[in-house]
Structure formats: structure tokens, C-alpha cells
């Protein structure tokens, strides 16, 4: 019996190979109606060769596509949306794909939106054989209550709605139960692989590729470099080959950059538009929230720009949800790297001592309150610190991204930066938010172009600071709720 067993292993070694000659061959048996996990973040680390092969096989259709993003028009998963091969998208942030929004709002596409960290953990847990877990993310929001349209009818009413979540209390906090995700197939991208399927990712292209590699019945990986067994050091392998079933080499992969962003060395504040000058006022004030040695996450837009005004002598460790700790400034033109982007899909650099990791590890840091501070934008904030910043029902479909996870961390200070009023002059600080919530009673401080409010638990808003030239009366007339005034309030920025 022992002799026969050894002989069988020898035959397996001689005849079985995980390496496929083409992407088309690797995906050809994916049946219609499959649940497929697609790796990548934005356009960084997407398995574009495998996606192209799927798009050229019309028999692979009616897919449930699980992906953090939906690509952009005609690129990445945007290509499969154009060919109508996707029935349902399970995603976190889809703001850059206009065709996606059109199909969803017209009732052609089913869409299940969820917090980015919840999506990452659903995938990680699925790969670990854990059927469900509890998270504080989304408590008090539409994620808990359900009812968000998954599919619209032609008349604009909801045809399919998201289900409510089970809630349990642990140690005085409320948590939602989330069921894990296991794919029929995972299509992912790696930098290097050996013939056993051991994988190495490059820089921020790890993102969702890492957890997705472990969470499917069949994992198909597209790689830039295929090396012999033994060439990869065991210590550099990110995903062991036990998780990988098929390998395709793509030596001519086109690494696209969604938002090419470079350093403008000579730009002065006097060169920018008046509207931007108003925002620079907010940005500079937000930068005063940093302290030496702090770990912080900065949201897309105004918050991220605060890193340009960190005071000399202060070291702040900036974290990005897509798997970076130690973000540096935007790169010079000759240092741009398509594998190195932030959560806003902008090209960035990493400082000495920085590190890369997968999306599930990133959100473990966030939910575990390893961050001291998060700064993010808002559409609305209530007098009790409720936050709304992710959707305008029936009009704007972007998704919540990582915001719900960031504001749910128990011991992380949450600072909102925003224009005090909308473009039409309507207040954005309200008695109660009118838009779907990102978080309940989660905001600690609000910084606008007019003032700084602190949210005082059980009391409401306290006016702490004024912008130069702004009076308390002006703040009252542009704020749609009552607030207290600190006895030492003064113009500070």
C-alpha cells in the first residue's frame, strides 16, 4: 500500500500542472450564474487579462460579481457591465463608473452595497470557514435596518430590498451579524507566482487580492512573473499555493492609473481659485488636529490635503484603507508607480518605515481602534454627531467605502471637514440628518469654513472657534440647530 501511494504521488507530480496556457482556457468552464470574486482596488491589481477573457466568452453570464469597485467605464469590471454579463454587483464603492450607476438606477443591475471593511472581513471569514461574525460597523444605519434598494423597478420603486441585520450586544456595544462570502471562483492578480501557486503581491496591489485568493472553490490567478519552484523565499510568500488552483502568466499586462496625481513643487496659494482658498482654510485648521507619533486615516479630498500642512517636527503615520501604513507625499512625475495608490486611487509614495498589507488586515487595524484619528468629509452632520456622506437615494450612487468602518471604531477620534453650507446656501449642520446615515453619534469635531464645533455627548454642539471675519451671529444664521458657545470662543484660523 505504501509503494502504491508513493507511485500515485509521482504520477500526480508528472501530469498535474496549475499553469494554464491562456486566460481563455483558464476561465472557459465558469458556468453562468456563478459567484465570482474579482481582486483589485480601483484599477490597481485588477486581473485585467482574466476579465478580458471572461468578456470574450458570452456563455459566462448572469454573474454575481464580488468586487470592492466596479471598474470604470469600459475598463476592468466596467467591461463586463458593458457586455451585460453581470447580474448582481456586491461592492463597497462604485463612484467612478457612470454606466454602473445608469444600469442600477434604471433597474437593469442588482447592487448590494456594504462597508468596505465588512466586505473584506466577509471574504476573509469565508476563506477561513467561518460562516458569520459580528461587527459594530453599520449599527443604526440602513445596513442594520435594511430597505436599501438592491434592484429598482422601471418606475423607480424598489423591486428587491436589502434585508435587516440581526443585532446583539457585547460589553455594552451593539453589533450586527454579517454572513461570510465564499465564491465559486476568484479571479485575482499577483506580481509573482511559482508553479505551485505560491503568490507574492507588489506594494498596494495586495488589497483585496490576498483575502479573495483564499475564499473561493476555484482560485485563478494572473501573474506578471512565473518562476520555478524554490526561487521564492518562504518568508516573502503572501499566499501559500494551497489556495491557488490555476495560474496564467500575463507578460504584457497594462497597468492603468485611475487618478494620476503628482507633486506640484512650485504651486503657491496665490495661484489657486477663491473656492479652493476657502477650503485651504479648512485644511490648515484640520492639520492642527495632528500630534507627534499619531496614527491617522485621511479621507478623500479635503482631509487628504491636510497632510500637506503637518507642522515641522511632527511625525504622523498615515494609513490608507487599501493596505498602506506610512503614506508619503504625491510622487514626482518620474516616480509614479501604478502599484502604489491611496484609497482615493491617487498615485502616492511611502515613507521609510512604511508597510503594505491586505485590505482585511487594514480594516482589522481600523475596527480595532489602532488609529488615533480619522478625518473625513460629510454631506450632513446632526447636532448629536450623526454623519451622512455616502448616498443620495435615487440620484447619487457612490457607496460608503471605508467610512462606516472608520467612524465605528470605539476609540478613534472622528473629525469632519466640510463647507458649512451647500452651494445653494442651505445649512449642512442640522437638527437631524435627512440623508441615509454613515454612523450614529460618531462625530467628535466639525471643522467648516466658518467655525469649529465639538459634539458634546448628551448636550449637542459647542462652538469652540471662529474663522477670521466670522461672527457667532453668522454661524447661527447658517446652522440649522441650536448650539452652545464656549466662553472663550475667538477667531483662531
Catalytic one among 178, 258, 321, 346?
Answer: 321
Give the residue from 317, 323, 232, 318 showing the smallest Cα distance to 45: 323
Helix or strand holding residue 246 (H, E) = strand 246-249
DSSP per-residue codes, 80-100: HHHTT-EEEEEES--TT-HHH
**Taking a C-beta distance cutoff of 8 angstroms, is the pair 383, 431 a contact?**
yes
Task: Give the whole-angstrom CA distance, residue 402 versus residue 322.
Answer: 9
Give the residue from 408, 407, 423, 485 showing the smallest Cα distance to 452: 485
**Taking a C-beta distance cutoff of 8 angstroms, is the pair 244, 221 a contact?**
yes
- Residue linked to cell 458570452: 58
**Taking a C-beta distance cutoff of 8 angstroms, is the pair 176, 139 a contact?**
yes
Catalytic: 121? Answer: no
Residues forming a β-bridge with 447: 417, 452
Contacts for 331-337 with beta carbons within 8 Å, 24 or more apart?
Answer: 331/262, 331/263, 332/262, 332/263, 333/262, 336/257, 336/260, 336/262, 337/203
| Catalytic residue positions, numbered | 321
Amino acid at each position: 500500500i505504501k509503494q502504491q501511494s508513493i507511485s500515485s504521488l509521482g504520477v500526480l507530480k508528472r501530469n498535474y500542472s496549475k499553469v494554464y496556457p491562456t486566460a481563455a482556457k483558464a476561465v472557459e468552464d465558469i458556468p453562468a450564474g456563478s459567484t465570482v470574486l474579482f481582486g483589485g482596488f480601483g484599477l490597481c491589481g485588477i486581473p485585467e487579462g482574466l476579465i478580458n477573457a471572461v468578456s470574450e466568452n458570452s456563455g459566462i453570464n448572469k454573474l454575481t460579481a464580488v468586487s470592492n469597485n466596479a471598474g470604470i467605464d469600459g475598463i476592468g469590471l466596467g467591461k463586463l457591465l458593458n457586455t451585460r454579463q453581470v447580474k448582481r454587483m456586491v461592492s463597497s464603492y462604485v463612484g467612478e463608473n457612470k454606466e454602473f450607476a445608469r444600469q442600477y438606477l434604471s433597474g437593469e443591475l442588482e447592487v448590494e452595497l456594504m462597508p468596505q471593511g465588512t466586505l473584506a472581513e466577509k471574504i476573509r471569514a469565508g476563506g477561513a470557514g467561518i460562516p458569520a461574525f459580528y461587527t459594530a460597523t453599520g449599527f443604526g444605519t440602513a445596513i442594520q435596518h435594511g430597505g436599501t434598494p438592491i434592484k429598482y423597478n422601471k418606475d423607480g420603486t424598489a423591486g428587491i430590498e436589502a434585508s435587516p441585520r440581526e443585532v446583539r450586544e457585547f460589553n455594552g456595544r451593539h453589533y450586527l451579524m454579517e454572513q461570510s462570502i465564499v465564491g465559486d471562483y476568484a479571479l485575482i492578480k499577483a506580481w509573482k507566482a511559482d508553479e505551485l501557486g505560491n503568490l507574492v503581491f507588489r506594494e498596494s496591489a495586495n488589497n483585496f487580492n490576498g483575502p479573495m485568493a483564499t475564499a473561493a472553490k476555484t482560485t485563478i490567478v494572473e501573474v506578471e512573473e512565473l518562476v520555478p519552484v524554490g526561487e521564492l523565499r518562504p518568508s516573502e510568500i503572501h499566499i501559500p499555493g494551497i489556495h491557488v488552483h490555476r495560474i496564467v502568466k500575463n507578460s504584457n499586462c497594462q497597468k492603468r492609473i485611475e487618478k494620476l496625481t503628482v507633486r506640484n513643487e512650485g504651486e503657491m496659494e496665490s495661484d489657486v481659485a477663491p473656492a479652493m482658498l476657502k477650503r485651504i482654510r479648512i485644511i490648515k485648521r484640520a492639520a492642527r488636529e495632528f500630534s507627534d507619533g499619531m496614527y491617522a486615516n485621511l479621507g478623500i479630498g479635503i482631509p487628504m490635503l491636510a497632510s500637506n500642512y503637518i507642522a515641522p517636527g511632527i511625525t504622523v503615520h498615515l494609513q490608507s484603507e487599501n493596505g498602506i501604513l506610512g503614506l508619503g507625499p504625491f510622487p514626482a512625475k518620474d516616480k509614479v508607480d501604478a502599484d502604489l495608490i491611496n484609497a482615493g486611487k491617487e498615485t502616492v509614495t511611502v515613507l521609510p518605515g512604511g508597510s503594505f498589507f491586505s485590505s482585511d488586515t487594514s480594516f482589522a487595524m481600523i475596527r480595532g481602534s489602532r488609529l488615533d484619528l480619522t478625518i473625513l468629509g460629510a454631506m450632513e452632520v446632526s447636532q448629536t454627531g450623526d454623519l451622512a456622506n455616502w448616498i443620495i437615494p435615487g440620484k447619487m450612487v457612490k457607496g460608503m467605502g471605508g467610512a462606516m468602518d472608520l467612524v465605528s471604531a470605539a476609540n478613534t477620534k472622528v473629525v469632519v471637514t466640510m463647507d458649512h453650507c451647500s452651494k445653494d446656501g442651505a445649512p449642512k449642520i442640522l437638527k437631524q440628518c435627512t440623508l441615509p446615515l454613515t454612523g450614529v453619534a460618531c462625530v467628535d469635531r466639525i471643522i467648516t469654513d466658518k467655525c469649529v464645533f465639538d459634539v458634546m455627548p448628551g448636550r449637542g454642539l459647542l462652538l469652540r472657534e471662529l474663522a477670521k471675519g466670522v461672527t457667532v451671529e453668522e454661524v447661527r444664521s447658517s446652522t440649522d440647530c441650536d448650539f452652545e458657545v464656549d466662553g472663550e470662543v475667538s477667531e483662531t484660523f
